[in-house]
Amino acid sequence: MTRNKSIRKEDLSEKREYHTQSTGIFFKVKNLLYKQNSPYQKIEVFENEYFGNVLLLDDLVQTTERDEFFYHEMLVHPSLITHPDPLDLLIIGGGDGGVLKETLKYHIKNVCLVEIDPHVIEVSKKYFPWLSPCLKDQRTELVIADGKKFIEKIDRKFDIILIDSSDPVGPSASLHQKRFYEKLKNCLNNEGIVVAQVGSPLYNSELIREKSASLKELYKIVSFYVIPVPTYPGGSWCFVYLSDNAHPLSIKRDPPLGLNYFNLETHRSAFSLPNFLKEKSE
């Protein structure tokens, strides 16, 4: 009985995400706002004194109110400022709405958000204030579907595809496979760009090496870039920019005003890789 009480008390006061057997990150929980299992994953939202509302999927931090702009701005804006005329966009994953929020800052025609788990959408609408107005935007098209199956069936071309998946486990595992990236290419217009998150440059460096080799068989331009994300494993995160014709350092337009992290200097510097990661991605 004592052990069970102790576990319940720890659940209510603290959340931990373990990155290895000996490292991780913890949050003190001010209020546990939501905790339920969907058919796909465990969904939790809690309030932290510093980071505000925090979303966890299967015990892994997805986003926080305080630092979401690091990840979302750097996933979206590198492609939007380098595509010659971005009009039709596709987001796979991203049910918290952070990526959608950033894309709508441009004069685009349409953005299709494909999310497998409707519970993530509903929970995020309640606890993350940016999502509801984005879903009401007339340019937004929401599709509840498996991203892999959606790509395999759709007969449609996009200018930019943004992959906001979680780690390569559970419902997101198929979004990290070579076959999926082959299908993505078939859905791109001539100047099309794919940007995807590929994990921690520290903890996932071997996976990044493997992904680099397979992606170079599919795309002419494969450029990795790294940014800080305070609440992600190791404090930094890696993305990959893919295209046959658009180059990540060929700037076509200025980014929107009012961004918290992204500017042309942070854009260029993100593609200057540290030596250990440069060796993995070459």
Rounded to 5 degrees, φ, ψ at 83 are -80, 140
Active site residues: 164
- Three-class HEC string of the chain: CHHHHHHHHHHHHEEEEECCCCCEEEEECCEEEEEEECCCCEEEEEEECCCEEEEEECCEEEEECCCHHHHHHHHHHHHHCCCCCCCEEEEEECCCCHHHHHHCCCCCCEEEEEECCHHHHHHHHHHCCCHHHHHHCCCEEEEECCHHHHHHHCCCCEEEEEEECCCCCHHHHHHHCHHHHHHHHHCEEEEEEEEEEEECCCCCHHHHHHHHHHHCCCCCEEEEEEEECCCCHHHEEEEEEEECCCCCCCCCCCCCCCCCCCCHHHHHHHCCCCHHHHHHHC
Identify the weakest region by mean pLDDT among 2-6, 124-128, 210-214. Answer: 2-6
For 63, the token pair is 């986003």
Checking if the pLDDT of 2 tops 70, the result is no
- Two tokens, residue 199: 């994990």
Mean pLDDT of 133-137: 96
Rg (CA), the chain: 19
Neighbours of 43 (CB within 10 A): 22
Other C-beta atoms closer than 10 Å to the C-beta of 190 total 11
The residue with tokens 């299709």 is 112
Judging by DSSP bridges, how do beta strands 188-199 and 236-243 pair with one another? antiparallel
Whole-angstrom CA distances from 23 to 86, 167, 239, 263 are: 41, 18, 23, 32
Handedness of CA 46, 131, 81, 88 (dihedral sign): positive
pLDDT at 222: 97
What would you measure as the largest C-alpha separation in the chain, in angstroms?
64
Average pLDDT over residues 14-25: 86
Residues 6+ apart with CB under 8 A from 230: 67, 70
Domains and CATH numbers, the chain: 2-64 (2.30.140.10), 68-281 (3.40.50.150)
User: In this predicted model, what pLDDT tens digit does every residue of 65-92 receive, in sequence order?
Assistant: 999 999 999 999 999 999 999 999 999 9
User: pLDDT class for 165, splitting at 50, 70, 90?
Assistant: confident
The mean pLDDT value for 103-130 works out to 97
As a whole number, the mean pLDDT across the chain is 91
pLDDT value, residue 23? 86
pLDDT for position 11 = 54
Look at residue 169 in the predicted model and tell me its pLDDT: 47
**Predicted TM-score of the model (pTM):** 0.92
Question: Which pLDDT value is given to residue 282?
Answer: 78
